[in-house]
Amino acid sequence: MLSKKIILTGSFGVGKTSLFERFINNKFEDKYLTTIGVKVGKKLVNTDKGDLSMMIWDIAGEVAQNKVPTSYFLGTSGIIYVFDVTRPSTYGNISQDIEYLKSVNKLTTIKIVGNKKDLVSEDDLLALREKITLPVDLFTSAKTGENVEKLFHDFAVEMVG
């Protein structure tokens, strides 16, 4: 079984820890507690192509990605860039952030994820897709669990394959 490192990053309060908790422990807390430093968790993901041991790093949110210690991004196989669909400030710098992440780790796969989809309508999400300059891979809701499993499972399939 392969082991891979995946990072959850993005601005503060976008729901990275909620996605982490939903995926690893299948639970959701309404209370907001800011992440200090990093939290590391593990989950085994079964795919048709094989199993994967995912080591997931939930990094403290920063308004710009170049504020995150560079060493956290080293050795990662995948980066999940999370933004909050209800807060434009969390996707305002998306192009610069993604460029920066690509420059730090050229080999990694980056997925762009809009979280808190339970708070907006499908029409709002469509409008958001138009508005954001880069393609959004998935809209998720850590609260309801919608698309959370799919997000990590898709990643696992890409990595094992």
Partner 1 sequence: MNRPSSSPTPEEEAQLLQQLRQVLLSEDREALAALREILEDEAQLSEKISPIIRQHLAFLKENFQDEYGVIVEEIVTKKLSESQDEIVNMIFPKLNTIIKKFITAQFQMLKEGIDTQIKTVQNRFSPKNIFSRFFGPSDSDIVLSQLDSPEVHEIYLVQRESGLLLGSYAREKNTDQDVIAGMLTAIKSFAEDAFNRGKEDLEMIQYENYKIFLQNLPSYYFAVAMTGSISASEKESLSNKLITFAQDNVPFDTTVVNSTLTDQVSNALREDFDQFSIQH
Binding residues for partner 1, per CB under 8 A? 1-5, 37-38, 40-42, 53, 55, 57, 69-72, 74-77
- Closer CB to partner 1, residue 53 or residue 96? 53
Q: Which is nearer to partner 1, 70 or 95 (by Cβ)? A: 70
Residue nearer to partner 1 on the CB measure, 107 or 130:
107
| Minimum distance from residue 42 beta carbon to partner 1 (Å) | 5
Nearer to partner 1 (CB atom), residue 4 or residue 111: 4
Min dist CB 56 to partner 1, Å, is 9
For the CB of residue 52, give the shortest distance to partner 1 in the complex, in Å. Answer: 10
The 3-class secondary structure across the chain, one letter per residue, is: CEEEEEEEEECCCCCHHHHHHHHHHCCCCCCCCCCCCEEEEEEEEEECCEEEEEEEEEECCCCCHHHCCHHHHCCCCEEEEEEECCCHHHCCCHHHHHHHHHHHCCCCEEEEEEECHHHCCHHHHHHHHHHCCCCCCEECCCCCCCCHHHHHHHHHHHHHC
